Structure 1
Amino acid sequence: MESKRQQKFAGVIQQDLAGIFQREGMNYLPHTMVTITKVRVTPDLAIARVFLSFFNNTDNAQSLQTVKSHASEIRYKLGARIKDQVRVIPQLEFFVDDTSEYVERMDKIFDKISKEDRQPDTEEN
């Protein structure tokens, strides 16, 4: 369970990272829209785990590697934005948020189940 402090700090990071990716994301990943879906912060606020979702993209793994290779630059830009609000700029760890893929997969499964012929209930004698 995250504390209110962690949640508030995660929200600040998410908002500022979203601005960074919105303005400068094309430098890292041209023709790809990057969305920060959630941020989780450790209790000591030293590490921020950032979950990303990529749109208009064919290879999420390659995009994640590209973002990870620019992590220090992104952290620097984040630090410039939040330096007056925090003591230490957290290390950034990036992950792919596959929630939308999971939802699509579950929708397909439910569609398949609903299209199958239903077995009639056994009659009680």
Structure 2
Amino acid sequence: MSKDNNPKGPSQRMLRVGELVRHALAAMFARGEVEDEALRGTVVTVPEVRMTPDLKIANAYVMPLGGQHADEVVAALNRHRRFIRGQIAPQLDLKFAPEFRFFVDETFEEADRIDALLRSERVRRDLEDDDKDE
């Protein structure tokens, strides 16, 4: 099941609104509008925003450039989520302003882990054994 608890996957509307929110957050972070010591001098990327089916919660997955101090950056963004909501909500044409929740984006770490696993000696041996069987 996906992180947004929707067994069928996100709807087109959820995807569209998530992408609008992602762009608005990325622009806001690029302008440096959120003032916090943990964010000073840090470039924050927003790879994905997942909306709940009712569009009332925006789960934003973020990563500081270089991946350093990710937990501190996420904590700072969560401290300022009411301010962020107030800045982003007018840009969205929604009935309700979504509540923001920030999380560390771990997709790059997971991809690195899978890549390392695929390059491991054990997997290489298994692949060689499959080639011999053919």
Q: TM-score range by the shorter chain?
A: 0.7 to 0.9
The equivalent residue for 2:71 is 61
Q: 2:115 aligns with which of 107, 120, 123?
A: 107
TM-score calculated relative to the size of structure 2: 0.76
Q: Is 2:34–2:80's contact at 8 Å kept on the other side of the alignment? A: no
The equivalent residue for 2:104 is 96
Q: Is 1:16–1:81's contact at 8 Å kept on the other side of the alignment? A: yes
Q: Which runs of 5+ in 2 are unaligned?
A: 1-8
The equivalent residue for 1:32 is 42
- Deviation track 1:66-85 (CA, whole Å, cap 9, x = no partner) reads 11111111111102322xx1
RMSD: 2.6
The equivalent residue for 1:18 is 26
Aligned residue for 1:27, secondary structure, equals: coil
Q: 2:10 aligns with which of 2, 7, 15?
A: 2
Of residues 60-69 and 18-27 in structure 1, the stretch that sits farther from structure 2 once superposed is 18-27
Aligned residue for 1:52, secondary structure, equals: strand
Percent identical across equivalent pairs? 27
57 and 32 in structure 1: CA distance in 2 versus 1, 3 angstrom threshold: farther
- Deviation track 1:96-125 (CA, whole Å, cap 9, x = no partner) reads 111111112222233332797x4885x9xx
The equivalent residue for 1:79 is 89
TM-score calculated relative to the size of structure 1: 0.81
- Partner Cα distance (1:43, 1:80) in 2: 20
- Partner Cα distance (2:90, 2:22) in 1: 15
- Deviation track 1:24-44 (CA, whole Å, cap 9, x = no partner) reads 267341222111111111111
Give the CA deviation at 1:90.
0.4
- Partner Cα distance (2:13, 2:80) in 1: 27
Q: How many residues align?
A: 120
Q: Which runs of 5+ in 1 are unaligned?
A: none
32 and 26 in structure 1: CA distance in 2 versus 1, 3 angstrom threshold: farther
Give the CA deviation at 1:46.
0.8
